[in-house]
Amino acid sequence: MKRPNPSSTRNGRRLTRRALLIGTAQFALMGGLALRMRSLQLKQAEEYRLLAEENRINIRLLPPARGLIYDREGRVVADNEQNYRIVMIREDAGDVEQVLQKLGELITLDPDRLEKAREEMARRSPFVPVTVAERVSWDEIARVTVNAPALPGIVPEVGLSRKYPYGSDLAHVIGYVGPVSDYDLNRIDDQDPLLQIPRFQIGKTGVENKLERALRGSAGTQQIEVNALGRVMRELDRREGNPGSDIQLTIDTRLQSYIEARLEGESASAIVIDVENGDLLACASAPSFDPNLFVRGISVPDWQGLNEDPYRPLAAKAVQGTYPPGSTFKMITALAAYEEGLLDPEETVFCGGFVEVSGNRFHCWKPGGHGNVNLHESLKQSCDTYYYEICQKVGIEKISEMARRFGLGIQHEVPLSAVAAGLAPDRDWKLRVRGTQWRVGDTVNASIGQGDVLASPLQLAVMTARLATGRSVTPRLIHSIDGVETPSGRGTSLGINENALRRIRAALDDVSNHNRGTAFGSRITDQENRLAGKTGTSQVRRITQAERDAGITSNEDLPWERRDHALFVSYAPAEAPRFAVSVVVEHGGSGSGAAAPIARDVMLQALYDGTPPLSTYPQNVRARISEQQRRIDAMIASKFAASDRA
């Protein structure tokens, strides 16, 4: 019998052990894989399903419809219109330039817009749509659609765009919208994802800017399926967002349009305020600009024209502009002295044309002086010397305090851009800002609204409304938001001595209605609607003694930018005030000659809610006024007809 080979036995045992080890390892590996698969399929299935879904489904934001803006009569003054546009998807187009050439044979393409589109296509992924033409007509859309097979990558779209039907008339109030810029993103603390949408538009100025969040609304969402490259395959779900809030202004568009037409050719501003509730019926600055230019993308020549115009059409002068109020400030000085018991209304001051204070000569506007004048005559004839004398008794602190009580030197809360605070200076202000002590001469200058005193047309209108009512009337521009009315600006009693107010009002009545009043030429002849007001002229240059000795150069003979500003503040009817009006004509020369006639015309439009009868004007101006009314009425009718057609 043959014996087994010991070497073969040992080798067999080794193979058996190796097989066992390998089998055990394989079994362990397969078991581990099975357990992991069980965990993935059962325990972590939901987590990985969501991850896979995120790779397959994208969520895009849908811009909401911007809220509309209405005037007090319900006219739409900021609207949304359908904006037909043409977009290109570069990867579908193939030869981009060839497709653009074919497109240019069908519709008119703006070279600047086209160049921007090329730059955008170079920056973005090939499947991202890029706008190549905006605001195309329906006929152009139809031509593009009919020729779609020959225009690969070209897609007609429709969206909403802002439109201002009354153009320049409300530009400084409503403002305008424009695409979100990097400057906007860095400037505003707003995490709304809508701001990241390419070419999404937000308010840049005016009400559009100040009430941006309310007008913007909230975004909707679109759930779309995309492939691995990110290309849209189909829409899975859509949820529309909430449109922006509708805003109703207190502005009367027809009155605003009248004022803009009446101010034509001037660098000026005018405010009309309802003294009962503080409603701003008009807030006009001239010249103005067409806000639609900014929505569509303003051209370089248009932008340069607006920026280089010396009349500054982009400035909202009615709220941004600040001017020395001149003689329209005299009522404040008088009331400050009266409240302190330092003014006897019947006591007279002699005006010889100037006074000497601390070695300096302060002149009255009338070189020969007014003679003996009391409070009433000083306002009626606008004597400066009277206020030079009484201001030294009362001091600047009380004068500035009274100015602030009447709305000067404070920033009123109206949702407009860069609302000015003006300045009612005092000792602390000069020491803090100028680093010098206040002097008596500073008080003398301030007493007639010169020196450091500054006021905006809005503040002057508020001051006048408070003089007319004795209440702390505050301006209100927003009537309601989504139908919910905002608080009234009626205000409460200022606590001013009623006898003092009566005397001031009687003098302001005579300013316009007495033949020696400075605004007699701009009176309203309808006795039930008499105008009460105050003229003002503020110097923009210092008149030297040498010039006085040689003869002061008249405003008409000076370059425009060196002429005095013209101001007029008023309310009517004098016995039962309804409206207050302030007018400032930059470099207009004199308040009585330039500003008062405008204020009278504006006041009559407000009182009669339209064109007043010629009988309300003095006989000697009726022929001129008749021609003026025909011209302005035609302008307004044309503008409103164009708005209705739009």
Domain locations in the chain? Answer: 52-67+175-249, 82-161, 253-287+318-550+561-645
Q: Is 86 helix (H, G, I), strand (E, B) or coil?
A: strand
pLDDT value of position 47: 57
pLDDT value of position 8: 57
DSSP state, 580?
Answer: E
Considering the four listed CATH numbers 1.25.40, 3.40.50, 3.90.1310, 3.30.70, the one that applies to the domain covering 52-67+175-249 is: 3.90.1310
226, burial (CB in 10 Å: exposed 0-12, middle 13-18, buried 19+): middle
Taking the whole predicted model, whether its pTM rises above 0.95 is answered as no
CA 322 to chain centre: 16
Q: Nearest CA to 329 among 444, 428, 432?
A: 444
pLDDT value of position 643: 74
The answer to whether residues 291 and 208 touch, using CB atoms and an 8 Å cutoff, is: no
Q: Which residues of 356-374 are buried (b: 16+ CB within 10 A; e: fewer)?
A: ebeeeebbbbeeebbeebb
pLDDT digits (tens, 9 = 90+) for 150-198: 898 888 878 788 999 999 999 999 999 998 877 787 877 777 888 876 6
Tell me which H or E stretch contains 600: helix 596-608
Could you confirm whether domain 253-287+318-550+561-645 is CATH 3.40.50.620? Answer: no
The answer to whether residues 262 and 293 touch, using CB atoms and an 8 Å cutoff, is: no
**Helix pair 385-394, 396-405: axis angle to 10 deg:** 100
- Could you give the C-alpha distances from 385 to 106, 272, 325, 331, 441, in angstroms and in order? 75, 31, 17, 14, 13
Residues in the chain: 646
Report whether the peptide linkage leading into residue 573 is cis, meaning its omega lies within 30 degrees of zero.
Answer: yes
Amino acid at 229: L
For the record, the structure tokens of 103 come out as 């497109």
pLDDT digits (tens, 9 = 90+) for 306-334: 999 999 999 999 999 999 999 999 999 99
Bridge partners of residue 235, in order along the sequence: 224
Give me the active site residues, please.
327
Q: Is 368 helix (H, G, I), strand (E, B) or coil?
A: coil
Q: Is 314 helix (H, G, I), strand (E, B) or coil?
A: coil
pLDDT value of position 237: 77
For the record, the structure tokens of 518 come out as 């400075």
The answer to whether residues 506 and 376 touch, using CB atoms and an 8 Å cutoff, is: yes
82-161: CATH architecture: 2-Layer Sandwich (3.30)
The C-alpha atoms of residue 443 and residue 356 are separated, in whole angstroms, by 13
Q: Nearest CA to 253 among 80, 79, 72, 78?
A: 72
DSSP state, 16?
Answer: H
The C-alpha atoms of residue 23 and residue 506 are separated, in whole angstroms, by 116
The answer to whether residues 606 and 570 touch, using CB atoms and an 8 Å cutoff, is: no
The C-alpha atoms of residue 386 and residue 334 are separated, in whole angstroms, by 10
- Per residue, what are the HEC states of 212-245? HHHHHCECEEEEEEECCCCCEEEEEEEECCECCC
The C-alpha atoms of residue 548 and residue 539 are separated, in whole angstroms, by 15
The answer to whether residues 283 and 256 touch, using CB atoms and an 8 Å cutoff, is: yes
Taking the CA of residue 595 as centre, how many other CA atoms within 13 Å lie in the half-sphere pointing to its CB?
A: 36
pLDDT digits (tens, 9 = 90+) for 555-583: 777 888 889 999 999 999 999 999 999 99
- Could you give the C-alpha distances from 636 to 166, 167, 236, 641, in angstroms and in order? 10, 12, 50, 8
Mean per-residue pLDDT over the chain, rounded = 89
The answer to whether residues 459 and 408 touch, using CB atoms and an 8 Å cutoff, is: yes
Low-confidence stretches of the chain (pLDDT < 70) are: 1-15, 17-19, 36, 38-56, 58-60, 128, 197-198, 224, 226-233, 541-553, 645-646
399, burial (CB in 10 Å: exposed 0-12, middle 13-18, buried 19+): buried
pLDDT value of position 52: 54
Residue with tokens 């007008």: 215
The C-alpha atoms of residue 153 and residue 134 are separated, in whole angstroms, by 16
Q: How many CB atoms lie within 10 A of CB 451?
A: 17
